[in-house]
A and B are shown apart, each in its own frame.
Chain A
Amino acid sequence: MTLGRIMLEIRGVSKTFATEKGETVQALAGIDLTVAEQEFVCILGPSGCGKTTLLRIIAGLDRPTTGEILVEGDAVTAPSPKMAMIFQEYSLYPWRTVLDNIAFGLEVRGMERAERYSIVGRYLKLVGLEGFSGSYPYELSGGMRQRIAVARALAIEPAVLLMDEPFGALDAQTRNLMQRELLEIHNKTKKTILFVTHSVDEAVFLADRIVVLTTRPGRIREIIPVQDGRPRERTSPEFVQVRRHVLDLITEK
């Protein structure tokens, strides 16, 4: 993958929390990372390594203790429409139909109903759920709900898509299917994607680069480019080799 324009810069980000007992815990230390336009980067690490914290800081939902985030050159201090986040837990509004869930971001921008519904239609098609515009989230399966969440994020046309273990709650089969669909969406929309996961397999399957974090405090252990073309075969020698390398990184202390 040829590296294009710089989309996202993470400069010296660290994060320290105060626990309820008053102790301080360092979640992240000295994270530097540059992500290019259209790149698909996976942030991989064991639970408690601060990867979700990092993503939340990038999204502008949390503030870093030190360092800064730049998206397209602008500092991020609050949630920005240039980035949309997809959460691990189901985050759709249960009182809204699928259509109105996806339209949410356009609605708060003050876009007319007819216009936003026509845009929503395109994204419903992209995620393959055209027939479900009038359904409510509780009528849909977990995989379908995450597709809607992806469509809702894409509808505001963000430059960067932030995904926090979005397929973590899904069964293995649905998960594999969603991974393939996400790659198709990435291919069609050319979005820059930052994807947090604790699954080595998922990271190797999806990413252009894998950023491996250490346990607390989370630091970047290594950044591994995945050269293998797409679609990737999970049993191919290249896949297995990268997977082995990443696994070794995670298991060795």
Chain B
Amino acid sequence: MRRFIPILLPLCILAGWEIAAIAINNAFFLPRLESVLDVLLNPLQDRLGSGSLFSNAILSVERVVLGFLLAAAIAIPLGIGMGRSSVLNAFFDATIQLFRPIPPLAWVPLALAWFKIGLTSILFIIFLGAFFPILLNTIDGVRGVKQTWVEVAATLGADERQILAKVIVPGAAPIIWTGLRVGFGIAWMCVVAAEMLPGASNGLGYLMIYAFNFGQVQVIIAGMIVIGLIGLAFDALFKWVERSRFRWRGLER
């Protein structure tokens, strides 16, 4: 019986929605459940000449993955360096603390001025969203590596490079992974927002704004649901890797 408790609230919300939609009877304000389902169940159907839900979702995922990988490729090595070297940390830390509180979306006007409308601007925003959580977690993870682990490696004859590859990186990996998970979540939020900017011509965010202009609220809601589900799927993937690869972290005594 307890197993059904988690789905109770969603069912209530759906029922409430349907009742409200019938009562309001205005599809431009709140469409019926069926019309949203119809959009979701036909993900390959072209919407308003702007491509299908599926093709736009793929575009958004491609962008987020690309921006995220770029952020990871820079944030992880930098974080390892800063975690290991107090000089590097002193050099970068103040600057990073200064830039970190600026929301990625606050960079949008500057991104448009620099990179014009298009993929580069969107990637730039995604990059900024993912970069800081990955960097800060990597620094934390590297600092959290037990000094004894490093010293054991040194007494067993490991050189600096081997200590880095065989002790620091695997020892910090669970925390770095947490940073990647958080970073990806933020990047995913950024991509949708960035696609809603003037001048974007495809992607889930674009499709939703475009649908808004045509009063297609069922497409907007369907888009939101797809965004939620994709975010959930990626998060589940990250958690699954965490559980299978970094099980030692929770069990270590």
Contacts and interface: CB of A to CB of B under 8 A. Distances in A.
Interface of A: 59-61, 78-79, 81, 83-85, 87, 89-91, 93-95, 104-105, 107-109, 136-138, 152-153, 156
B167 A61 contact: no
B171 A87 contact: no
Interface string B234-253: 00000000000010110111
Contacts of A84: 155-156
B162 to A, nearest CB: 5
B100 interface: no
B213 interface: no
A87 B149 CA distance: 10
B155 A85 contact: yes
Given A108-B153, A138-B253, A89 B158 contact: no
Query: Sorted from nearest, which 7 A-B pairs have the closest CB atoms?
Result: A105-B156, A94-B248, A138-B251, A108-B158, A79-B154, A79-B155, A91-B148
A45 B152 CA distance: 24
Contacts of B231: none
A93 B155 contact: no
B112 to A, nearest CB: 44
Contacts of B151: 61, 79, 85, 87
A91 B154 CA distance: 13
Contacts of A138: 248, 251-253
B154 A81 contact: no
Contacts of A152: 152, 156
A238 to B, nearest CB: 35
Interface string B176-189: 00000000000000
Contacts of A78: 154
A104 B156 contact: yes
A107 B156 CA distance: 10
A174 to B, nearest CB: 15
Contacts of A136: 248, 251
B173 to A, nearest CB: 7
Contacts of B167: 93
Interface string B155-173: 1111100100011001101
Given A108-B166, A138-B248, A95 B173 contact: yes
Contacts of B171: 93, 95
Nearest to B158: A108
A108 B158 CA distance: 6
Nearest to B170: A95
Task: Pick from B151, B156, B253 the residue with the most CB of A within 10 Å.
Answer: B156
Contacts of B170: 93, 95
Contacts of B156: 81, 84, 104-105, 108, 152-153, 156
B152 A87 contact: yes
A87 B157 contact: no
B157 A105 contact: yes
22 contacts: A59-B155, A79-B157, A81-B156, A83-B155, A85-B155, A87-B148, A87-B151, A91-B148, A91-B149, A91-B152, A95-B170, A95-B248, A104-B152, A104-B158, A105-B156, A107-B166, A108-B157, A108-B158, A136-B251, A138-B252, A152-B156, A156-B156
Contacts of B251: 94, 136, 138
Nearest to A88: B148
Contacts of B148: 87, 89, 91
Nearest to B246: A95
Nearest to B159: A108
A84 B30 CA distance: 72
Task: Pick from A59, A60, A95, A152 the residue with the most CB of B within 10 Å.
Answer: A95
Given A87-B152, A91-B148, A156 B249 contact: no
